[in-house]
Amino acid sequence: MANKINHLIDAYQRLTQKAENCVLATIIETFGSTYQKAGARMLITTEGELIGLLGGGCFERDLIEQALTVFETGAPKTVFYDMRSSDDIIWGLGLGCNGAVRVFLQLLKAEEQFAPLNTLIDAAENNAQSIMVTVVESEYNDFPAGYSLFVPTTTTNNRELLSTAPFPFTSAALQTIEKQKPHIETHVINSQTIKAFYEPIHPPLRLLILGAGADAIPLTQFARLLGWRITVVDHRPGYIIKDRFPHVDQLLYRTPETLHDDLDINQFNALIVMTHNIEYDQRYLKALVYCEIPFIGLLGPVHRKIKLLQSLGNDASKISSRVFGPVGLDIGAETPEEIALSIVAGIHAELNKRNGQQLNGDHYGHLSDYVQR
């Protein structure tokens, strides 16, 4: 579920206002331990401003220098940073990251609406999933380096997809849809080689919050920091005030019985029920029985969750496997801000199929085995 362009959406608005060219830097391949993985993107302006982060500060300064040649020539280029040597003899950057990255740099022109970034942003804003294909090396004139193609993945069958992607990109695009992992493929046309980077593009995660109490405010703040799209619903008109929720995309007055009015519930990836009123929680939950939302969170202790599910009768089986309560990771949260952090982390972990444990677990071995005494 990872989305790697959240920081670019706001930046794109600024770019269109300034109407100045910039360089898009994309990680297209990684080896070993790296700060970011393939598909991570960063913008570099003519003033050397960085929007985003690819190496945790490791090689960004050199990327600015590399981008200068792209600004000057207009030609894309690929740069490779190998930090696996402890001596860093070649680069002299003293990185010590024990990994390597390949980065593709391409010029985005204001006069061309910063293509292909504009299409990438449109896909995200329209909640559309797609495969982005970027030619990074080419001997074939029809598909030069920097050529980009978007293959929609909302087609009903593979034949429709075949009609949207020109040869030779079709089969690799289909494989990317299936595996959902970015990768580089090499194609040969008339003995001429093309290397293309394939990446699944996911729209920003969409969060629906039922209940606009004070503790919903920090939840929206954390969700916005992650670039999520947020809708807040409440049955109390006095709570639906923009000044209270400046970070949300949509504020709606809805009773549980009118929840579906002009609102596509299934567009959301996660939902939190937090009205603090068990009767209204029950009524909202009843309205959700036939939804397809993969994550439904409930505030309160386990017995409250059990009581709410029991109130649904036989319909409880339709959503019980997707209901999390108490919602959130166990981080010892007590304050509204800590609880909001716990909830957001829990959603993120579940949708990314992770367990939410510490990264320095036993599968890494004991630190004493690696630290020289």
H-run or E-run covering 284: helix 278-287
Cβ neighbours of residue 263 under 8 Å, at least 6 residues apart? 231, 233, 252, 254
For residues 242 and 126, give the distance between their C-alpha atoms in angstroms, rounded to a whole number: 23
Task: Give me the tens of pLDDT residue by residue for the chain, a chain 373 residues long.
Answer: 456 677 888 788 888 888 899 999 999 999 988 888 999 999 999 999 999 888 877 788 999 999 999 999 999 999 999 877 655 444 445 444 678 999 999 999 999 999 999 988 888 878 778 899 999 999 999 999 999 998 887 554 555 555 567 888 888 888 888 888 999 999 999 999 999 999 998 888 999 999 999 999 999 999 999 989 999 999 999 999 999 999 899 999 999 999 999 999 999 999 999 999 999 999 999 999 999 999 999 999 999 999 999 999 999 999 999 999 999 999 999 999 999 999 999 999 999 999 888 877 554 444 444 444 3
Cβ neighbours of residue 94 under 8 Å, at least 6 residues apart? 88
Write down the pTM of the prediction.
0.82
The CATH H-level (homologous superfamily) assignment of domain 206-351 is NAD(P)-binding Rossmann-like Domain (3.40.50.720)
Domain boundaries, the chain: 6-114, 127-201, 206-351
For residues 135 and 147, give the distance between their C-alpha atoms in angstroms, rounded to a whole number: 5
Nearest to 297, CA basis, from 263, 348, 245: 348
